[in-house]
Copies of this chain bind each other. A is one copy, B any other.
Amino acid sequence: MEEELENAWSYLLNDTLFRHFTNEEMLELPLKDYFLSCNKGKVIYNEGDYISGFYLIYRGVVKVYKTGIDGKYQILRFAKEGDIIGFRSTITGEKACTTAYALEETDLILIRKEVVLKLIKSNGAFALELLKIACTELGEANDLIKDIAQKTVRERIAEVIIHLKLGFGTDKNHILNIALKREEIANLAGTSTETAIRQLSELKQEGVIGFVGKKIKINDHETLLKIGNM
């Protein structure tokens, strides 16, 4: 555990948005108290919670979604190592408007609200980096709005697969490095599970994709791009 903390510390200072700080400035961060591990299936925070800060993902994958009417939910994004979650509510001070759920074993570093706000004021480069993260997310959200409003399910499913590839990559056999349930793919594309399944089967019939275990294999990236109108 001691070593783990050592590593996390060096990770923070070298590879994350905290690289803008010196060792001294970072002493504000009582890391030991705010290093959390959670099991697969654990809800990290819930829509409506007041959260005490934001989380930097040190290891694992987190599903971020909003719950809707009767059991349906809309997935906004999958966050992975190096990403931060919960920072929107941390900044605005509002309740969380999403739920974060650990898809696998996940380690998190909690950065408390007071610390964040203080660091923003004291370090412009850090503030700018946070702004860039927020603005990038905003751009992606805007894209998603247009896509859900205007594209067909078929197009959206193709697009989702491309996005997963961009976010998580593929191995040498073009197999996605992430395994999702059909329901999750559906809720990412904003459709029902059955409809998503039908579209996936169709893409498989056409040879554009394949299934290897629980994972999707991308046979024809170009065609997928075309189908997704991208």
**Residue in B closest to A127 when the chains form the complex, CB atoms:** B127
- Which of A133-141, A157-165, A167-175, A208-216 binds B? A133-141
**Which of B92, B94, B143, B149 contacts A148 (CB under 8 A)?**
B149
**Which of B68, B127, B141 contacts A150 (CB under 8 A)?**
B68
Provide the main secondary structure of the chain A interface: helix
CB proximity to B under 8 Å, residues A74-127: 74, 76, 87-88, 91-92, 94, 97-98, 117, 120-122, 124-125, 127
Query: Would you give the 0/1 interface string for A5-41, flagging 1 where the beta carbon is closer than 8 Å to chain B?
Result: 0000000000000000000000000000000000000
Cβ of A145 within 8 Å of any chain B Cβ, yes or no, is yes
Kindly provide the distance from the CB of A59 to the nearest chain B CB, expressed in whole angstroms.
25
Add 11 more A-B contacts to A69-B229, A97-B142, A144-B145 (CB < 8 A).
A76-B145, A91-B128, A91-B131, A98-B142, A117-B128, A120-B131, A122-B124, A130-B131, A134-B134, A138-B141, A148-B149
Q: List 10 A-B contacts (CB under 8 A).
A: A72-B150, A74-B149, A88-B139, A91-B128, A91-B131, A94-B139, A120-B124, A121-B124, A145-B148, A150-B190
